[in-house]
Every structure is written in C-alpha cells, then in structure tokens.
Amino acid sequence: MTNPPEPTPIPLLAHKGIPAALVVLYWGVLQLLGGLKGDQLLIGGVIIALSYSGALARKIRNFLLPVLLTAIVYDSKRFIANQIRARIRVEEPYLFDQKFFGITTERGILTPNEWWQLHTHPLLDVICGVYYLAFIAAFVLLSAYFLFYRKLTQATHMMWSFFWVNVIGYSTYFWYPAAPPWYVSIYGLGPAILGTKPSAAGALRFDQLFNVTIFERMYSKGADVFGAIPSLHCAYPAIAVYWTFRLKRGRTFAMIYWIGMCFSAVYLNHHYIIDAIWGSAYAFIGSYAVERYVARKQPSPEPVLHASLS
C-alpha cells in the first residue's frame, strides 16, 4: 500500500522549532490585544500537535494549513473591522435582488429571501441546516479524498484556492461591507447599526426542530455582521466545482453541493442572490489564478530530442 502523496512543502515550517514559535507568537499577540480565547488556543494546539507527531501528521498539517490560516485571518477581522470599514451598504443589495430577482405578491415585490420566509417547511429547514453545518467539512473531505485516496496533488491547489478566496472575500468586507437580509428583516433599510449581534436567522429553525443550540452558539461567535458580500458559503462549493471539472472526478457531487448551498443561503435568510453570485465569481477567478500561478512555477519539461532517420 503506497503512502499518500505529500502536500506542497511549506518551507517556513520545515525547521523544527518554527511551528511552535509561530504559534506562541500568535497567542502572545492575541493576549496583548485582549482577544485570546479557547478557539485560538485550539487552532494553535492543532498546528503544534500535527507538527511534532511524525511524517504523516506533518502531511496532514500541510494539507489543513490553508483552513487553519483562514480561521486565523477570519478571527483577526474583529480587531480592525470598525476602524477601516467603508460605508455599510444596507439598501443596495436588497434593492438589487428586489429589482432583478423580485417576486410579485399581494404584499408587493418581495426579494427571494422575503418570499421564502413566508414559505418555510420543516424538511427544507433540515436540508438547508445540514448544508450549512457541512459547508467547510464537505469541502475539506472532498479535497482529502482527492489527495489521500486518489493521490491527486492538485488537491493542495484546491485547498490554497480556499485560502486565497477567503482572503479576497474578507477584504471585500472592508471596502464593500453589506448587511445580510436577516438584518433588513429586523432593522429595516435605515442606516447600519454598529454593534449589532450576529444572528443565525433561519438556521434557528433547525435548532428548534431538534431542540439544540448548534447554530445559535455558532453564530454567537461571528466576527462581523456586515460581511454578507460575498457569500463564502457559496464560494467554497464553487471552488469544488472548478477543481472537480479540472480533475474530471466528483463533478455531480460538487454541482449538487454548490446549488444546494446557494439555495440554503437564500432560504435561511443569510444571503441575497447577488451575494451568492459574487462569492461564486470570486471562487472561479481565485481558483483559476491559483492554477495559473502553480503552472508558471512548475519547471518546463526537458525537450525530447528525436534522432533523425536517414
């Protein structure tokens, strides 16, 4: 039985003491900022554990590193969002969806989000809740399948696409911050109210059906309410669509994953359709950029010299 291929090496982490030193530095900075919490301790602990538990663990660390770095970048937004954020858009995404995707009813023209909040169903609550619970896990498991089972090293490029699409998406939250549809349902289209607490919105119906607090607890840890555009929930399966078509495997699964996630984002009142389109566009563009970058970095094959026949 052959060993799984090793993901792209991380030169900075090749020296034994570097991973632990970086994690301790990360914890120290958070402590100085007054923001060190259990989640950050867990992320750092995972990096340290995987870095010093043998060759296979280091392969898993290199594979998961884009996700772990994404979590660190996401968490860091809470320290700078209010200082550098542009004017928050509350009306624009709502009016865009109302104009281009609006549904005419006796109540007037509703956005798809508003229409679905009037037509909820327990079965849809369960299906969409499962999609939202699995939005990262499904992506990571698909990438792991490609790398560790199918032995396709392009899975590491898929994972780094995930990281860079997240970075671009988080930057958009600063120059085009936008309120989610649930915010408009509660507070209307007036000026944005800073300090608004995150909400699980329609995902709370899943909690209520099963008498749990999964989504309530998950969204209570949210770093930024005004980060609806782009929808990264929809971006992740779109990255999967891009790479499954490139790898010619898992395309049906990826398409179902993507379409279901886009529907869930709207049905659960977390995102407008424009958010899903924007996030998917970032996914395709970001994945293409990573693929082109990797192609340029790879050495060209040696020319083959053919003997001439006399």
Residues 61 and 50 in one domain: yes
* Lookup result for tokens 């779109």: 238
Contact assessment for residue 195 and residue 101, using Cβ atoms and an 8 Å cutoff? no
Whether the predicted pLDDT of 299 surpasses 80: no
Q: Number of folded domains in the chain?
A: 2
CB 30 within 8 A of CB 36: yes
Say whether 64 sits in a helix, a strand or coil: helix
Residue 271, classed as helix, strand or coil, is coil
* One domain, residues 183 and 100: yes
- From the list 153, 138, 141, 164, the residue with the least C-alpha distance to 287 is 164
Q: Are strands 103-105 and 108-110 parallel, antiparallel or unpaired?
A: antiparallel
**Percent of the chain having pLDDT more than 90?**
77
Q: Which of 35, 64, 84 is the last residue of a domain?
A: 84
Predicted confidence at residue 108, as pLDDT, reads: 96
Asked if the structure places residue 309 within a domain, the reply is no
Is 279 within 8 Å of 170 (Cβ atoms)?
A: no
User: Which token pair is 258?
Assistant: 């993507």
Q: Of 24-33, 205-214, 292-301, which range is least confident?
A: 292-301
Mean pLDDT of 275-295: 97
pLDDT at 83 (0 to 100): 80
What would you measure as the largest C-alpha separation in the chain, in angstroms? Answer: 85
Q: What is the mean pLDDT of residues 219-242?
A: 92
Mean pLDDT of 218-235: 90
Q: Do residue 55 and residue 142 come from a single domain?
A: no
Answer whether residue 5 is part of any domain.
Answer: yes
Which residue would you say has higher pLDDT here, 17 or 286? 286
Instruction: Confirm whether 230 is domain-assigned.
Output: yes
Instruction: State how far Cα 298 lies from the chain centre.
Output: 27
Kindly give the residue spans of alpha helices, DSSP state H, lying in the chain: 18-33, 38-51, 55-84, 91-101, 112-117, 122-133, 137-144, 154-175, 181-187, 204-210, 214-220, 232-247, 251-267, 273-297
pLDDT of amino acid 308: 41
Average pLDDT of the chain to the nearest whole number: 91
Q: Is residue 59 scored above 50 in pLDDT?
A: yes
Do both 43 and 167 map to the same domain?
A: no
- Are residue 4 and residue 115 in the same domain, yes or no? no
Give the pair of three-digit tokens for residue 130.
């499962």
> 155 and 283: one domain?
yes
**Do 270 and 233 touch, CB atoms closer than 8 A?**
yes
Which of 55, 84, 113 is the last residue before a domain boundary?
84
Verify that 69 and 167 share a domain, yes or no. no
Note whether 53 and 194 are same-domain residues. no
Lookup result for tokens 């992740």: 236
Do 151 and 277 have their domain in common?
Answer: yes
- Residues 135-154 have a mean pLDDT of 95
pLDDT tens figures, 184-226:
999 999 999 988 999 999 999 999 999 999 999 999 877 679 9
Domain boundaries, position 263:
86-296
Q: Rounded to whole angstroms, how far apart are CA atoms 204 and 282?
A: 28
Q: How far is CA 8 from CA 56, 172, 174, 294, in A?
A: 14, 28, 31, 11
Q: What pLDDT, on a 0 to 100 scale, did the predictor assign at position 1?
A: 47
Is the confidence at residue 71, as pLDDT, over 50?
yes
- Mean pLDDT in residue range 257-268: 98
Q: Per-residue pLDDT tens for 72-129?
A: 998 888 788 778 889 999 999 999 999 999 999 999 999 999 999 999 999 999 999 9
Q: Band the pLDDT of 11: cuts 50, 70, 90.
A: low
- 106 and 45 within one domain: no
CB neighbourhood size of 113 (10 A): 27
pTM over 0.85: yes
pLDDT of residue 306: 45
pLDDT at 16: 77
| CA dist., res. 270 & res. 16, Å (int) | 43
Assess whether pLDDT exceeds 60 at residue 8.
no
Question: Are residues 39 and 124 both part of a single domain?
Answer: no
Within this chain, do residues 5 and 144 fall inside the same structural domain, yes or no? Answer: no
> Where is the domain boundary, 15, 50, 84?
84
Answer yes or no: is 167 within a domain: yes
